[in-house]
Amino acid sequence: MAITDTNIDRCTFTLEEALANVPFYERWRARDPGPSTPLAERMAALPVLTKKDLRAYVPRGFIHKKCGYKEGFASGEVEIVSTSGTTEDRTSVVWNQAWWDNSEREAARLHPVLDRIYSAGHREAVLTSPLCGNNLCHVGETPMPERTLGNILFLNQSLDPTSWDARSVRSMADELNQFKPAVLEADPAYLAILSRECLLAGHHLHQPECITISYEFPSRMHYRQIRRAFPGVPVVSSYGSTETGHVFTQCRYGTFHQNTATCHVEIQPLRSECGDPQVGRLLITTLDNPWFVLLRFDVGDLARVRRGTACPCGRSEGIAIESIEGRTRDITFDSKGRVVTLKQLDDALEAADGLIGYEVEQTGHSNYMMRYAAEPEMEAHTGQILSGLLHNLYGNNTRIEIRRDSALPPEQSGKFRLARTSWAGHPESIFDD
């Protein structure tokens, strides 16, 4: 059964308005069992909204009929932006900046340091791919003033951070020191590379009040590099998407808490025969954004539900999750055919603390290939232990090939792919109905 938050009235209103007044959902009306049915059952009776649906029906399909389509775009209240991602994952979004800003501010309330910073004017630096979703990043040689929008500075101008030269690294370090942001918002892979290169070169780095990690899965190897360069700075993982806004924020105890102000969350668990049912895919319903109404949108990510005692931070509203487990497309399978999430893979590689990059590909039922890059002084040791760590995870009867690389570049999207399967024998549906 899907696990839902307690924001029943607002989600019910969103559901009924969407079915009655948002063009795309006309085809869903017949599936709704009606107001006399509990909300969780009404939601579960509906299909899952996919990125394929967005590509086919954005923009008009997801705009509430009360909104003036032409007037909204003409006035600049909304615009069309494209998300990052691989070609098959890329979508267009009707971007409402006011709604996004509110979502960000509400999510910041879930961590006391962020709440304090966002309560006042502050500077923020962003380090990610130039293909970020808000269309404000730049590729090439663009002066710092042209990459500064109000209180935000976009640092990176390269599509591949593994190709940063000494001049690029020094330039970003100098800009960070000059701008002195209170918050550094970063893709963990990009910040890990910048951190390592600055430490090797001896560059001083401004220490912000807080670092927020977003954009892609944060590996242990990323955290190791970041914490060496920013000792003592709180590192907070923030989860969301261009389509759905800010969904979860990590509290100071490490629990991810739901931003109930702007979204409703369901978690569709794995089938017990396929994996751990405490893990499931995230289905997001956006609240109070008539310009882009999403019901049960599959963001393509997995999460592990927090069980047991309440979080020490005291927050009880909404869903609490223990961890973001990585993207659905990045799962692999062990020799028994059970799901291995990216988080499980990354945890299994904890002892390989010399890693600075890796990719694991499952090529058959029991066949795996791993490419890796490591710190030069730890390269031999890392290579020796990787096979054993992967056998412990996938099974002793598996065949594992290990290859060393000097660097592992990102995909065309600018994001790094740590795991994948090209094996076609896994179940068609791994999720519980």
Q: What is the pLDDT of residue 1?
A: 38
H-helix or E-strand spanning residue 13? helix 8-21
Looking at 48-123, list the stretches that DSSP marks H as alpha helix, in order from N- to C-terminal side.
51-57, 69-75, 97-108, 112-118
Where are the domains positioned within the chain? 3-327, 332-421
Q: What is the rounded CA–CA span in Å between residue 157 and residue 76?
A: 26
CA 405 to chain centre: 26
Q: What is the rounded CA–CA span in Å between residue 180 and residue 125?
A: 8
Q: What is the pLDDT of residue 139?
A: 60
Strand 320-327, strand 256-258: pairing = antiparallel
Q: Model pTM? A: 0.93
Burial (CB count within 10 angstroms: exposed 0-12, middle 13-18, buried 19+), residue 244: buried
Q: Report CA torsion sign: 238, 168, 129, 136.
A: positive
Helix (H, G, I), strand (E, B) or coil at 222: helix
Same fold across 3-327 and 332-421: no
Q: What is the rounded CA–CA span in Å between residue 144 and residue 146?
A: 5
Q: Which fold has domain 332-421?
A: GMP Synthetase; Chain A, domain 3 (3.30.300)
Contact 293, 286 (CB under 8 A): yes
Contact 208, 233 (CB under 8 A): yes
Q: What is the pLDDT of residue 85?
A: 63
Give, to the nearest 10 degrees, the angle between helix 220-229 and helix 188-201: 40
Q: Which residues contact 322 (CB under 8 A, 6 or more apart)?
A: 255, 256, 304, 305, 306, 307
pLDDT tens for the chain, residues 1 to 433: 344 445 889 999 999 999 999 999 999 999 999 999 999 999 999 999 999 999 999 999 999 999 988 999 999 999 999 886 654 577 899 999 999 999 999 999 999 999 999 998 899 999 998 876 444 455 667 889 989 989 999 999 888 999 999 999 999 999 999 999 999 999 999 999 999 999 999 999 999 999 999 999 999 999 999 999 999 999 999 999 999 999 999 999 999 999 999 999 999 999 999 999 999 999 999 999 999 999 999 999 999 999 888 999 999 899 999 999 999 999 999 999 999 999 999 999 999 999 999 999 999 999 999 999 999 999 999 999 999 999 999 999 999 999 999 989 999 888 999 999 988 777 778 999 7
Q: Which fold has domain 3-327?
A: Rossmann fold (3.40.50)
Q: What is the rounded CA–CA span in Å between residue 239 and residue 256?
A: 8
Backbone angles phi, psi at 85, to 5 degrees: 125, 170
Token reading at 198: 């600055």
Beta-bridge partner residues of 369 = 361, 401
Q: Report CA torsion sign: 300, 8, 63, 149.
A: negative
Contact 137, 258 (CB under 8 A): no
Q: What is the pLDDT of residue 331?
A: 96
Distances (CA, A) of 427 to 91, 139, 165, 431: 26, 40, 44, 10
Q: What is the pLDDT of residue 135?
A: 45
Long-range CB contact pairs, 19-27, < 8 A, 24+: 21/64, 21/65, 21/66, 22/61, 22/62, 22/63, 22/64, 22/65, 22/293, 23/57, 23/60, 23/61, 23/62, 23/63, 23/65, 24/53, 24/57, 24/61, 24/62, 25/293, 25/295
By C-alpha distance, which of 121, 71, 124, 61 is closest to 92?
A: 61
Q: Which residues contact 319 (CB under 8 A, 6 or more apart)?
A: 3, 4, 5, 258, 265, 267, 305
